[in-house]
Each structure stands twice: as structure tokens, then as C-alpha cells.
Structure 1
């Protein structure tokens, strides 16, 4: 279920965001940050669920491994929610509003818990594997847009990460305004991605 809330802050006002369009639309653009009102798709509390990829129920987590700078780390991964904005907010977020026609911003909130492996000594990269899809089609990423969103952390602020600790990283994508479902994907180096589906209604 989606709830209306003023929560999405795409970035600081001076930030410049790159709109990396998908293969079907192509091209690059730049965007300035705004402070839009959003709707929220929210999951229930997490329950660990190790698997090898595929669909994960809303509110359940999955276990994956990722090669970080100090070595291989095992993470528990939970897509908590997706904050979905409006077409007007999408138009404000890009330099060329025509390229955002019919699209809305969607911010995926994903929590990663360090479950095994070495403590990180530098900024984690595990959140880079998060993508947002809508009705089976990958959205267009707004690079650097989500670090300042409410409830999100900037990976560059995480200087060390030990076993048992959790951090929430976000990714912002533009997706079709009329999509029935918004999906959060996270993928290891090989195999199928984990997929959490949130109804966009």
C-alpha cells in the first residue's frame, strides 16, 4: 500500500544528477535536486531468507555475497520500501523535462546487514547493485540522487562496517507513472537477481 508523505529529497540543491536512460531510450542528461512530495510502498518487518536469487516476499530478506575491497562479505539484504513521486517531480529533476514525460521518481530503500567476512575498511559498494524496475522493465537511474533522501545513508560516510551492523542505502530511478508494480532488484556477480515487488496503487 502506498502512503502520501513528504519524504523524498533527491539531493542537495547544488548537486548535479545524471539521468542514465535505459537501452530502449538511450542518452544522458543532467538533473538538479528538488524536494518533492512522495507516496510510499512499505514492507512489513524483515525475516531472514537465504536463497540463490528469484522472487522474495515483501518484508522478507535474502542472503547474498559481494566482493568488497577487503574481501568477500556475506550480507543479509532487505528491500524495505519504495518512495514513489509524481510526474511534476520527475520533470523538475532533469534538465530536459521532455525526457521525463510520463515518468515518476522511485526511491528504493534497501538495508544491508554485514553477516560474515572481513570488516570493511573503505566505502561499501554493495548498494551499487540495486536497481528499480516497473512492470518488468528497468527504470532510468538518477545517479547520486538518493543519498540525502530521508532514511538513506551515503555509502561514502560509512568508514568501517563490522559484522552485525546494518546500513540503509537508496537508489533513485525514473519509472512509468502508470506502472502497476514497482520492483527492487539486487544481484550478485552471477545468477538471478533477488526481486521484491511493491504494488504501485
Structure 2
């Protein structure tokens, strides 16, 4: 998964830029797999593939959740296991909506040229801690969120220093300091770079190496 980073002002402090670089590196590692052990096991077994063919072991006509399309607002048919440190939690995730931004949001800063012909989209996903350890240290949720545009192209996650102009008021940063309690729900909003003039058709949620992502169709 490719992650873009943009600066709101060309005069952003070097210290902030270095901090953002560290965050990008962490996000990139998380987005590429669930853990170093998983990657090593995957390479050794040759089964580290995405898609329903790699989810393995389906018999008797059983359908994996990633094989069927959900409607926006429909909860995941199975709980998604996320972990942090030595804790594990089972989350019900629900893709909600996409709010389109304006191309002007990408015109500030030194990276503006690479965003020519692009605009931003804000994808919303709700997560509920249904079971597992509680209270639980917050796991990474937003790095599992994805978007698809017309033609099947993936939106590119965007990390910013500060907030983009035109960001919706309810598109808040994830709170990774506050512990989760069982039954608690939170809404996550992730920013993506997408081509101008193309409709965002789906929100996705990664389920690791071995299962196809969950996929929600957005209203046409």
C-alpha cells in the first residue's frame, strides 16, 4: 500500500517533518502486513496472497466474507481480530460513507505538483469492540481502511501535518491514547487521494495476508 504525505505549509518545522516521516514509516510497515512473523511464515509457505483463493480450507459451498459485497452501513458479518502489544480484541466494523473534498485542498506546500489531477476523499468507518481484552490499548484501525474508485483503482492514503482545508468537521483524528472498553464504538475517518472526476465506489477493510478484504459498495 502506498501512503502519500503532504505538508500544509512549505515552512513546516523540520522537527515536525521528521516526526511525520517516522509516522509514515510505521504506517507503511503496518499496512504491509500484520507482523514480521506473519511475513516470514508467508514467504516460507508460499501462501501469502490476498483474495479468496488464499483464504484456504473452504468446503461444502462455504462462502468467505470477502467473497461477497456488503452495502454501506452493513456491519461486518464476522468480527475482525485486532491486537496491540499482548492484547487482542474482536471488532465489528462498518463502512459508513465517503465525503468528497476539493482539489484545492492539495495545492498548498512543496508537494502540490505531484497531486495534479487528484482530489481528496474522506472515508468513514465505525468500529465496535465486541469481545476480547478490555480495557484494551488502541490498535491501529485506519491502516486497514481502503477505497476503490471507478475501474477498480485504489485510493492512496494521505498523511498530513495539520488538517487539510475543507476537512469535514466530523472527520477527526484517531485517538490512540484512550483505551477501548467492551461495547464501545468509535468512528474513524481516513483521507485518500483519488483521481478527479472518478467516483469512489467502495470502502474496503484489510484482513491480513490470507483473506480477501471486506468490501462495501457505496450508493450510486
Task: Give the TM bin, normalised by the shorter chain.
Answer: 0.5 to 0.7
Say yes or no: does 1:30 pair with 2:14.
Answer: no
Which residue is 2:198 aligned to?
A: 179
| Structure 2 unaligned blocks of 5 or more | 10-63
- The 2-side partners of 1:151 and 1:105 are apart by 16
Match of 2:98 in 1: 82
**2: distance between equivalents of 1:67 and 1:119?**
12
For 1:69-104, what per-residue CA distance to the aligned partner results, in whole angstroms no more than 9, with x for missing partners?
Answer: 343311111111111112222323x53322111111
Contact 1:151–1:168, Cα closer than 8 Å, also in 2: no
Aligned equivalent of 1:168: 187
> Relative contact order, CA 8 A, sep 6+: which one is greater?
2
Q: Is the 8 A contact 1:105 1:173 kept in 2?
A: yes
Mapped partners of 1:183, 1:146: distance in 2 = 24
Alignment RMSD, CA only? Answer: 2.7
CA contact (8 A) 1:184 1:196 kept: yes
Residue 138 of structure 1 is matched in structure 2 by: 154
1:28-177 aligned within 5 A: 30-32=6-8, 52-54=65-67, 55-62=69-76, 63=78, 64-92=80-108, 95-135=110-150, 136-144=152-160, 149-177=168-196
Structure in which a larger fraction of residues adopt strand: 1
Q: Is the 2:138–2:176 contact (alpha carbons within 8 Å) kept by the matching residues of 1?
A: yes
Aligned equivalent of 2:214, options 165, 185, 194: 194
The 3-state SS of whatever aligns with 1:163 is: coil
**For residues 199 and 179 of structure 1, do their structure 2 counterparts lie closer, same or farther at Cα, with a shift above 3 Å needed?**
farther
Contact 2:120 2:193 in 1 (8 A): yes
Cα separation, 2, equivalents of 1:154 and 1:88: 21
Question: Which TM-score applies when normalising by structure 1?
Answer: 0.67
The 8 Å contact of residues 70 and 121 in structure 1, kept in 2 or not, is answered as: no
Aligned residues: 157
Query: Is the contact made by 1:121 and 1:161 (CA closer than 8 Å) also made in structure 2?
Result: yes
